[in-house]
Amino acid sequence: MMTTTPAEPALRIENFSAGYVARVPIVNEVSHAVPAGQVATVVGPNGAGKSSLLKGLYGLTRWSKGSVVVAGTEVTRLSAWERLRAGLSLVPQGRCNFPYMTVRENLQLGVATLPRRQRESSVAVALAEFPALEAHLGRMAGNLSGGQQQLLEIAMAMAARPRILLIDEPSLGLSPAARRLVFDKLRQIAATGVCVVMVEQNVVEGLAASDLGIVMVEGRIHRTGTADAIANDPEMKQVFLGGRPGTEPAHAPHSTSGRDQT
């Protein structure tokens, strides 16, 4: 275990490689740091390994090399459960609530890792931070709109009081208004000192809501910088259009993915 120093970022990834089967890393030698209170967005073409990176940070892939350090504590060899307790929380891609349970029951599941005596108060704190959910406490989660479900999933992850929120494609399938709500919420969460690392296909809006941009291509970090610099880099068009820098574009860009819904 490493010790925390004042300069230690919330998340430090060093030379990290991981995949799904032995000797086939999907994420290759990734190194990066994200400070507390910042939003970093991972962008890149389909299949670049963005989701695999998030899963790898959370311990859901097969580790092959390097380390993941959360506020000075190395978590590389910990299970996902132990990483949750160390301060990492993941909102996976797609709907990941329990649709036939009420909003309250979903939130109660979000605090299941906390000591019993803290659970009810943590649900209350989550509701205070997500007032839009309060009116729907008794509704089945599956009956909420797409935007409300995404907020619920973020609330469930935040109820565990993480230092780092990992979130995969939060805007997927949402209407422009719902996307704005979700991105605003992620910014508010970062303003409380949480480090937010998201993967986004909606490059323009994702980067606009971020401090840092991380471009992944073929499992490796291709470029990092301020979100503004990445958003305005003319080379990025080629990365997204063609999948590999230095090659001709292959398909049309898409700033959003999936159907819009509310």
Ligand X SMILES: Nc1ncnc2c1ncn2[C@@H]1O[C@H](COP(=O)(O)OP(=O)(O)OP(=O)(O)O)[C@@H](O)[C@H]1O
9 part of the interface to ligand X, by CB under 6 A: no
Residue 183 C-beta: closest distance to ligand X, Å? 18
Q: What angle do CA 245, 249, 250 make, to 5 degrees?
A: 120
Chain-centre distance for alpha carbon 60? 14
Per the structure block, which two tokens stand in for 192? 């409380």
51 part of the interface to ligand X, by CB under 6 A: yes
255 part of the interface to ligand X, by CB under 6 A: no
Residues 135-154 that bind ligand X (CB under 6 A): none
90 part of the interface to ligand X, by CB under 6 A: no
106 part of the interface to ligand X, by CB under 6 A: no
Span of 46-54, 107-115, 116-124, 202-210 interacting with ligand X by CB under 6 A: 46-54
Residue 241 C-beta: closest distance to ligand X, Å? 14
Three-state SS at 254: coil
CA distances from 134 to 77, 111, 127, 242, 257 (A): 38, 17, 6, 44, 29
Span of 43-51, 76-84, 153-161, 184-192 interacting with ligand X by CB under 6 A: 43-51
50 part of the interface to ligand X, by CB under 6 A: yes
Pick between residue 31 and residue 46 the one whose CB is nearest to ligand X: 46
The one among 38, 41, 52, 224 contacting ligand X by CB under 6 A: 52
Q: What angle do CA 223, 210, 188 make, to 5 degrees?
A: 155
48 part of the interface to ligand X, by CB under 6 A: yes
Residue 214 φ/ψ, nearest 5 degrees: -130, 120
Give dist(CA 238, CA 246) in Å, integer: 7
In the stretch 158-197, what mask flags binding to ligand X with x, by CB under 6 A? ----------------------------------------
Exposure b/e, 15-31, CB count within 10 A at least 16 = b: ebbbbeeeeebbbbebe
